[in-house]
Structure 1
Amino acid sequence: MEPRHPRAKAAGKRQRLTAATARVLHEQGVERTTIADIARAADVPAGNVYYYFKTKDELVQAALAEHAGHLGELTALLDRLPDPRERLKALIGAWVGRRETAARYGCPMGTLAVELDKRAEGGLDLEAGRVIRLLLDWVEQQYRELGAADPEGLALALVGAYQGMSLLSSALRDPEIMTREGARLVRELDSLA
Protein backbone atom coordinates (compact mmCIF):
# COMPACT_ATOMS: atom_id res chain seq x y z
CA MET A 1 0.00 0.00 0.00
CA GLU A 2 1.47 3.35 -0.97
CA PRO A 3 1.42 6.29 1.43
CA ARG A 4 -1.32 8.88 1.07
CA HIS A 5 -0.46 12.10 -0.67
CA PRO A 6 0.23 14.88 1.89
CA ARG A 7 -2.55 17.10 0.47
CA ALA A 8 -5.08 14.27 0.72
CA LYS A 9 -3.94 13.59 4.27
CA ALA A 10 -4.31 17.30 5.15
CA ALA A 11 -7.76 17.46 3.54
CA GLY A 12 -8.81 14.41 5.55
CA LYS A 13 -7.59 15.98 8.77
CA ARG A 14 -9.35 19.25 7.99
CA GLN A 15 -12.58 17.37 7.25
CA ARG A 16 -12.28 15.44 10.53
CA LEU A 17 -11.83 18.75 12.37
CA THR A 18 -14.82 20.28 10.60
CA ALA A 19 -17.09 17.32 11.35
CA ALA A 20 -15.89 17.16 14.94
CA THR A 21 -16.49 20.89 15.37
CA ALA A 22 -20.07 20.61 14.14
CA ARG A 23 -20.73 17.68 16.49
CA VAL A 24 -19.03 19.14 19.56
CA LEU A 25 -20.62 22.58 19.13
CA HIS A 26 -24.02 20.90 18.91
CA GLU A 27 -23.37 18.89 22.05
CA GLN A 28 -21.64 21.55 24.17
CA GLY A 29 -22.36 24.94 22.59
CA VAL A 30 -19.89 27.49 21.31
CA GLU A 31 -18.94 29.09 24.60
CA ARG A 32 -18.29 25.82 26.45
CA THR A 33 -16.31 24.24 23.63
CA THR A 34 -12.54 24.55 23.60
CA ILE A 35 -10.05 23.94 20.84
CA ALA A 36 -8.82 20.99 22.90
CA ASP A 37 -12.35 19.50 22.90
CA ILE A 38 -12.48 19.69 19.12
CA ALA A 39 -8.97 18.30 18.69
CA ARG A 40 -9.80 15.37 20.97
CA ALA A 41 -13.05 14.63 19.10
CA ALA A 42 -11.18 14.74 15.76
CA ASP A 43 -8.27 12.69 17.11
CA VAL A 44 -5.85 15.46 16.14
CA PRO A 45 -3.16 17.02 18.35
CA ALA A 46 -4.47 20.35 19.69
CA GLY A 47 -1.56 22.27 18.19
CA ASN A 48 -2.45 20.99 14.72
CA VAL A 49 -5.86 22.65 14.85
CA TYR A 50 -4.23 26.06 14.36
CA TYR A 51 -2.63 24.88 11.14
CA TYR A 52 -6.11 24.56 9.62
CA PHE A 53 -8.13 27.11 11.61
CA LYS A 54 -6.58 30.22 13.15
CA THR A 55 -9.48 31.11 15.45
CA LYS A 56 -12.46 29.55 17.13
CA ASP A 57 -14.71 31.64 14.86
CA GLU A 58 -13.10 29.98 11.83
CA LEU A 59 -14.04 26.63 13.37
CA VAL A 60 -17.61 27.84 13.89
CA GLN A 61 -17.69 28.96 10.23
CA ALA A 62 -16.50 25.50 9.23
CA ALA A 63 -19.26 23.92 11.34
CA LEU A 64 -21.84 26.13 9.62
CA ALA A 65 -20.50 25.00 6.25
CA GLU A 66 -20.70 21.40 7.46
CA HIS A 67 -24.37 21.87 8.40
CA ALA A 68 -25.07 23.49 5.02
CA GLY A 69 -23.37 20.55 3.33
CA HIS A 70 -25.46 18.02 5.25
CA LEU A 71 -28.60 19.94 4.38
CA GLY A 72 -27.57 20.01 0.71
CA GLU A 73 -26.97 16.26 0.75
CA LEU A 74 -30.32 15.61 2.41
CA THR A 75 -32.31 17.82 0.05
CA ALA A 76 -30.52 16.36 -2.98
CA LEU A 77 -31.52 12.91 -1.78
CA LEU A 78 -35.10 14.04 -1.16
CA ASP A 79 -35.23 15.70 -4.59
CA ARG A 80 -34.99 12.23 -6.12
CA LEU A 81 -38.52 11.56 -4.89
CA PRO A 82 -40.97 12.40 -7.68
CA ASP A 83 -43.65 14.07 -5.54
CA PRO A 84 -43.11 17.24 -3.46
CA ARG A 85 -45.54 16.01 -0.78
CA GLU A 86 -43.47 12.84 -0.40
CA ARG A 87 -40.29 14.95 -0.24
CA LEU A 88 -41.74 16.96 2.64
CA LYS A 89 -42.90 13.80 4.40
CA ALA A 90 -39.42 12.32 4.00
CA LEU A 91 -37.92 15.51 5.45
CA ILE A 92 -40.18 15.17 8.48
CA GLY A 93 -39.19 11.50 8.68
CA ALA A 94 -35.52 12.53 8.73
CA TRP A 95 -36.22 14.97 11.57
CA VAL A 96 -38.10 12.34 13.55
CA GLY A 97 -35.33 9.83 12.84
CA ARG A 98 -32.96 12.10 14.80
CA ARG A 99 -35.32 12.40 17.76
CA GLU A 100 -32.89 10.95 20.31
CA THR A 101 -30.25 13.51 19.37
CA ALA A 102 -32.85 16.30 19.32
CA ALA A 103 -34.06 15.27 22.78
CA ARG A 104 -30.53 15.56 24.10
CA TYR A 105 -29.19 18.61 22.25
CA GLY A 106 -31.96 20.23 20.19
CA CYS A 107 -31.70 21.08 16.50
CA PRO A 108 -28.06 21.49 15.43
CA MET A 109 -28.68 24.65 13.40
CA GLY A 110 -31.40 26.10 15.60
CA THR A 111 -29.39 25.88 18.80
CA LEU A 112 -26.26 27.21 17.08
CA ALA A 113 -28.17 30.11 15.51
CA VAL A 114 -29.65 31.12 18.86
CA GLU A 115 -26.29 30.95 20.59
CA LEU A 116 -24.52 32.92 17.85
CA ASP A 117 -27.25 35.55 17.91
CA LYS A 118 -26.37 36.31 21.53
CA ARG A 119 -22.75 37.10 20.70
CA ALA A 120 -21.91 40.75 20.22
CA GLU A 121 -19.40 40.32 17.41
CA GLY A 122 -18.47 38.33 14.37
CA GLY A 123 -21.50 38.19 12.10
CA LEU A 124 -21.65 34.42 12.42
CA ASP A 125 -25.30 34.76 13.44
CA LEU A 126 -26.04 35.99 9.92
CA GLU A 127 -24.22 33.00 8.45
CA ALA A 128 -26.31 30.67 10.63
CA GLY A 129 -29.41 32.43 9.34
CA ARG A 130 -28.29 31.79 5.76
CA VAL A 131 -28.11 28.05 6.43
CA ILE A 132 -31.62 28.08 7.89
CA ARG A 133 -32.75 30.13 4.88
CA LEU A 134 -31.53 27.30 2.61
CA LEU A 135 -33.95 24.95 4.37
CA LEU A 136 -36.81 27.45 4.25
CA ASP A 137 -36.28 28.05 0.53
CA TRP A 138 -36.23 24.34 -0.23
CA VAL A 139 -39.42 23.71 1.78
CA GLU A 140 -41.11 26.70 0.14
CA GLN A 141 -40.23 25.28 -3.29
CA GLN A 142 -41.93 22.00 -2.37
CA TYR A 143 -45.12 23.83 -1.40
CA ARG A 144 -44.93 25.82 -4.65
CA GLU A 145 -44.71 22.59 -6.63
CA LEU A 146 -47.76 21.33 -4.73
CA GLY A 147 -49.62 24.46 -5.86
CA ALA A 148 -50.34 25.40 -2.24
CA ALA A 149 -51.57 28.86 -1.37
CA ASP A 150 -48.97 30.85 0.61
CA PRO A 151 -45.96 28.56 0.13
CA GLU A 152 -43.74 30.99 2.05
CA GLY A 153 -46.05 30.96 5.08
CA LEU A 154 -46.37 27.18 4.96
CA ALA A 155 -42.58 26.83 4.81
CA LEU A 156 -42.17 29.10 7.83
CA ALA A 157 -44.83 27.11 9.70
CA LEU A 158 -43.23 23.74 8.91
CA VAL A 159 -39.67 24.76 9.75
CA GLY A 160 -40.96 26.62 12.81
CA ALA A 161 -42.81 23.49 13.92
CA TYR A 162 -39.58 21.51 13.58
CA GLN A 163 -37.67 24.07 15.64
CA GLY A 164 -40.42 24.04 18.26
CA MET A 165 -40.63 20.29 18.53
CA SER A 166 -36.83 20.05 18.73
CA LEU A 167 -36.73 22.66 21.48
CA LEU A 168 -39.53 21.05 23.50
CA SER A 169 -38.11 17.58 22.99
CA SER A 170 -34.77 18.82 24.31
CA ALA A 171 -36.17 20.89 27.18
CA LEU A 172 -38.36 18.01 28.36
CA ARG A 173 -35.84 15.28 27.36
CA ASP A 174 -38.69 13.52 25.58
CA PRO A 175 -37.92 12.20 22.08
CA GLU A 176 -41.53 11.12 21.64
CA ILE A 177 -42.51 14.75 21.22
CA MET A 178 -40.70 14.57 17.89
CA THR A 179 -42.60 11.39 16.99
CA ARG A 180 -46.02 12.80 17.87
CA GLU A 181 -45.45 16.19 16.28
CA GLY A 182 -43.90 14.60 13.19
CA ALA A 183 -47.02 12.46 12.75
CA ARG A 184 -49.19 15.57 13.13
CA LEU A 185 -47.17 17.39 10.46
CA VAL A 186 -47.55 14.46 8.09
CA ARG A 187 -51.32 14.48 8.66
CA GLU A 188 -51.37 18.21 7.86
CA LEU A 189 -49.50 17.53 4.63
CA ASP A 190 -51.95 14.79 3.70
CA SER A 191 -54.89 17.12 4.27
CA LEU A 192 -53.38 19.90 2.16
CA ALA A 193 -55.41 20.26 -1.02
Structure 2
Amino acid sequence: MTDSRSSRRSPGKRERLAAAAAQVLHEKGVEQTTLADIARAADVPVGNVYYYFKTKNELVEAAIAAHGQGLQAMIEALDALPAPQDRLKALLAGWVGQRELTARYGCPTGSLASELDKRADGLDESIAKVMRQLIDWAECQFEAMGREDSRELAVALVAAYQGISLLTNTLREPELMAVEGRRLERWIDSLA
Protein backbone atom coordinates (compact mmCIF):
# COMPACT_ATOMS: atom_id res chain seq x y z
CA MET A 1 0.00 0.00 0.00
CA THR A 2 2.77 2.46 0.84
CA ASP A 3 4.52 1.75 -2.45
CA SER A 4 1.45 2.59 -4.52
CA ARG A 5 0.86 5.84 -2.65
CA SER A 6 4.46 6.86 -2.99
CA SER A 7 4.45 6.06 -6.70
CA ARG A 8 1.41 8.29 -7.09
CA ARG A 9 3.24 11.16 -5.38
CA SER A 10 6.60 10.60 -7.09
CA PRO A 11 5.58 11.73 -10.58
CA GLY A 12 4.35 15.02 -9.12
CA LYS A 13 7.67 15.93 -7.50
CA ARG A 14 9.69 14.63 -10.42
CA GLU A 15 7.56 16.64 -12.87
CA ARG A 16 7.85 19.75 -10.67
CA LEU A 17 11.62 19.35 -10.59
CA ALA A 18 11.78 18.90 -14.38
CA ALA A 19 9.59 21.97 -14.97
CA ALA A 20 11.61 23.99 -12.46
CA ALA A 21 14.83 22.85 -14.13
CA ALA A 22 13.53 24.02 -17.52
CA GLN A 23 12.62 27.42 -16.05
CA VAL A 24 15.79 27.99 -14.04
CA LEU A 25 18.07 26.75 -16.83
CA HIS A 26 16.35 29.21 -19.16
CA GLU A 27 16.83 32.07 -16.73
CA LYS A 28 20.35 31.31 -15.50
CA GLY A 29 21.91 28.90 -17.98
CA VAL A 30 23.30 25.44 -17.30
CA GLU A 31 26.63 26.49 -15.81
CA GLN A 32 25.16 29.06 -13.41
CA THR A 33 22.28 26.86 -12.22
CA THR A 34 22.69 24.81 -9.07
CA LEU A 35 20.62 21.90 -7.82
CA ALA A 36 19.61 24.14 -4.91
CA ASP A 37 18.22 26.71 -7.38
CA ILE A 38 16.09 24.05 -9.01
CA ALA A 39 14.96 22.58 -5.68
CA ARG A 40 13.94 26.05 -4.47
CA ALA A 41 11.99 26.75 -7.67
CA ALA A 42 10.23 23.37 -7.39
CA ASP A 43 9.58 23.86 -3.67
CA VAL A 44 11.34 20.58 -2.92
CA PRO A 45 14.03 20.12 -0.24
CA VAL A 46 17.42 20.02 -1.95
CA GLY A 47 18.17 16.60 -0.43
CA ASN A 48 15.12 15.16 -2.18
CA VAL A 49 16.46 16.16 -5.59
CA TYR A 50 18.98 13.31 -5.42
CA TYR A 51 16.16 10.81 -4.94
CA TYR A 52 14.87 11.67 -8.42
CA PHE A 53 18.02 12.85 -10.20
CA LYS A 54 21.51 11.65 -9.35
CA THR A 55 23.33 14.32 -11.35
CA LYS A 56 22.80 17.78 -12.75
CA ASN A 57 22.97 16.27 -16.24
CA GLU A 58 19.97 14.08 -15.40
CA LEU A 59 18.09 17.24 -14.43
CA VAL A 60 19.12 18.90 -17.69
CA GLU A 61 17.86 15.82 -19.56
CA ALA A 62 14.56 16.09 -17.65
CA ALA A 63 14.34 19.78 -18.60
CA ILE A 64 14.87 18.83 -22.23
CA ALA A 65 12.09 16.25 -21.93
CA ALA A 66 9.87 18.97 -20.43
CA HIS A 67 10.61 21.17 -23.45
CA GLY A 68 9.65 18.25 -25.71
CA GLN A 69 6.42 17.63 -23.80
CA GLY A 70 5.54 21.32 -23.95
CA LEU A 71 6.18 21.34 -27.67
CA GLN A 72 4.02 18.25 -28.14
CA ALA A 73 1.16 19.84 -26.19
CA MET A 74 1.46 22.99 -28.28
CA ILE A 75 1.47 20.98 -31.50
CA GLU A 76 -1.66 19.12 -30.43
CA ALA A 77 -3.42 22.43 -29.75
CA LEU A 78 -2.27 23.90 -33.06
CA ASP A 79 -3.36 20.79 -34.96
CA ALA A 80 -6.93 21.50 -33.87
CA LEU A 81 -6.96 24.58 -36.12
CA PRO A 82 -8.54 24.08 -39.54
CA ALA A 83 -5.83 25.10 -42.02
CA PRO A 84 -2.04 24.80 -42.10
CA GLN A 85 -1.68 28.58 -42.55
CA ASP A 86 -3.79 29.10 -39.42
CA ARG A 87 -1.62 26.64 -37.50
CA LEU A 88 1.61 28.32 -38.61
CA LYS A 89 0.27 31.79 -37.78
CA ALA A 90 -0.88 30.59 -34.37
CA LEU A 91 2.63 29.28 -33.76
CA LEU A 92 3.97 32.74 -34.62
CA ALA A 93 1.43 34.37 -32.32
CA GLY A 94 2.60 32.16 -29.47
CA TRP A 95 6.20 33.14 -30.08
CA VAL A 96 5.34 36.83 -30.31
CA GLY A 97 3.23 36.53 -27.16
CA GLN A 98 6.35 35.52 -25.24
CA ARG A 99 8.48 38.38 -26.55
CA GLU A 100 9.01 39.97 -23.13
CA LEU A 101 10.35 36.68 -21.75
CA THR A 102 12.47 36.22 -24.87
CA ALA A 103 13.88 39.73 -24.52
CA ARG A 104 14.95 38.89 -21.01
CA TYR A 105 16.27 35.33 -21.40
CA GLY A 106 16.20 34.31 -25.08
CA CYS A 107 14.37 31.35 -26.59
CA PRO A 108 14.13 28.56 -23.98
CA THR A 109 15.02 25.78 -26.40
CA GLY A 110 17.42 27.75 -28.59
CA SER A 111 19.38 29.16 -25.65
CA LEU A 112 19.70 25.71 -24.10
CA ALA A 113 20.73 24.22 -27.46
CA SER A 114 23.42 26.84 -27.90
CA GLU A 115 24.80 26.26 -24.43
CA LEU A 116 24.71 22.46 -24.64
CA ASP A 117 26.48 22.50 -28.00
CA LYS A 118 29.64 23.58 -26.20
CA ARG A 119 29.67 20.43 -24.05
CA ALA A 120 30.74 16.91 -24.92
CA ASP A 121 28.16 14.96 -22.93
CA GLY A 122 25.55 14.17 -25.60
CA LEU A 123 22.89 16.50 -24.22
CA ASP A 124 23.19 18.58 -27.39
CA GLU A 125 21.77 15.61 -29.30
CA SER A 126 18.80 15.43 -26.93
CA ILE A 127 17.86 19.08 -27.42
CA ALA A 128 18.39 18.74 -31.18
CA LYS A 129 15.60 16.12 -31.21
CA VAL A 130 13.20 18.71 -29.76
CA MET A 131 14.24 21.26 -32.39
CA ARG A 132 13.81 18.64 -35.15
CA GLN A 133 10.32 17.86 -33.84
CA LEU A 134 9.32 21.49 -34.42
CA ILE A 135 10.92 21.57 -37.88
CA ASP A 136 9.21 18.30 -38.82
CA TRP A 137 5.82 19.66 -37.72
CA ALA A 138 6.32 22.90 -39.67
CA GLU A 139 7.36 20.86 -42.70
CA CYS A 140 4.06 18.96 -42.53
CA GLN A 141 2.19 22.28 -42.48
CA PHE A 142 3.97 23.58 -45.56
CA GLU A 143 3.46 20.23 -47.26
CA ALA A 144 -0.27 20.46 -46.51
CA MET A 145 -0.19 23.86 -48.24
CA GLY A 146 1.01 22.02 -51.36
CA ARG A 147 4.60 23.22 -51.17
CA GLU A 148 7.25 20.95 -52.67
CA ASP A 149 9.94 22.89 -50.81
CA SER A 150 8.30 22.22 -47.44
CA ARG A 151 11.49 21.18 -45.62
CA GLU A 152 13.39 24.28 -46.71
CA LEU A 153 10.45 26.49 -45.70
CA ALA A 154 10.22 24.81 -42.30
CA VAL A 155 13.92 25.34 -41.66
CA ALA A 156 13.60 28.97 -42.81
CA LEU A 157 10.69 29.57 -40.40
CA VAL A 158 12.47 28.10 -37.39
CA ALA A 159 15.72 29.85 -38.35
CA ALA A 160 13.90 33.19 -38.60
CA TYR A 161 12.42 32.66 -35.14
CA GLN A 162 15.75 31.65 -33.62
CA GLY A 163 17.46 34.62 -35.22
CA ILE A 164 14.89 37.14 -34.03
CA SER A 165 14.95 35.54 -30.58
CA LEU A 166 18.69 36.12 -30.40
CA LEU A 167 18.35 39.74 -31.55
CA THR A 168 15.38 40.40 -29.26
CA ASN A 169 17.37 39.05 -26.31
CA THR A 170 20.66 40.72 -27.23
CA LEU A 171 19.13 44.13 -27.85
CA ARG A 172 16.43 43.71 -25.17
CA GLU A 173 13.84 44.94 -27.67
CA PRO A 174 10.64 42.85 -27.55
CA GLU A 175 9.10 44.86 -30.40
CA LEU A 176 11.61 43.32 -32.81
CA MET A 177 9.87 39.99 -32.36
CA ALA A 178 6.46 41.52 -33.00
CA VAL A 179 7.69 43.14 -36.22
CA GLU A 180 9.27 39.87 -37.41
CA GLY A 181 6.10 37.98 -36.49
CA ARG A 182 4.05 40.25 -38.77
CA ARG A 183 6.59 39.82 -41.57
CA LEU A 184 6.49 36.04 -41.21
CA GLU A 185 2.68 36.10 -41.33
CA ARG A 186 2.82 37.97 -44.64
CA TRP A 187 5.42 35.47 -45.86
CA ILE A 188 3.17 32.53 -44.95
CA ASP A 189 0.25 34.21 -46.79
CA SER A 190 2.44 34.67 -49.87
CA LEU A 191 3.20 30.95 -49.96
CA ALA A 192 -0.42 29.81 -50.13
Scaled by the length of structure 1, what TM-score is found?
A: 0.96
1:149 positional shift: 3.1
| Partner Cα distance (2:62, 2:28) in 1 | 16
* 2:128 corresponds to: 129
Written as runs of structure 1 = structure 2, the 5 A alignment for 1:31-42 is 31-42=31-42
* 1:112 corresponds to: 112
SS of corresponding position for 2:82: coil
* 1:99 corresponds to: 99
SS of corresponding position for 1:5: helix
* 2:144 corresponds to: 145
**1:141-193 Cα distance to aligned partner (Å, 9 max, x none):** 00000001310110010000000111100000011111000000001111113
| Root mean square deviation of aligned Cα | 1.0
Find out whether 1:23 has 2:55 as its counterpart: no
* 2:89 corresponds to: 89
Find out whether 1:74 has 2:102 as its counterpart: no
**1:80-112 Cα distance to aligned partner (Å, 9 max, x none):** 011001000000001001111111111111000
| Partner Cα distance (1:96, 1:8) in 2 | 37
| Partner Cα distance (1:8, 1:64) in 2 | 23
Structure 2: which 5+ runs fail to align? none
Q: Which amino acid aligns with 1:105?
A: Y
Q: Which amino acid aligns with 2:141?
A: Q
% same residue:
59
* 1:179 corresponds to: 178
1:11 positional shift: 1.4
Q: Which amino acid aligns with 1:54?
A: K
| Partner Cα distance (2:53, 2:72) in 1 | 23
1:122 positional shift: 1.3
* 1:51 corresponds to: 51
**1:46-74 Cα distance to aligned partner (Å, 9 max, x none):** 11000000000000000000000000000
Scaled by the length of structure 2, what TM-score is found?
A: 0.96
| Partner Cα distance (1:18, 1:68) in 2 | 12
Q: Which amino acid aligns with 1:75?
A: I
| Partner Cα distance (1:22, 1:5) in 2 | 27
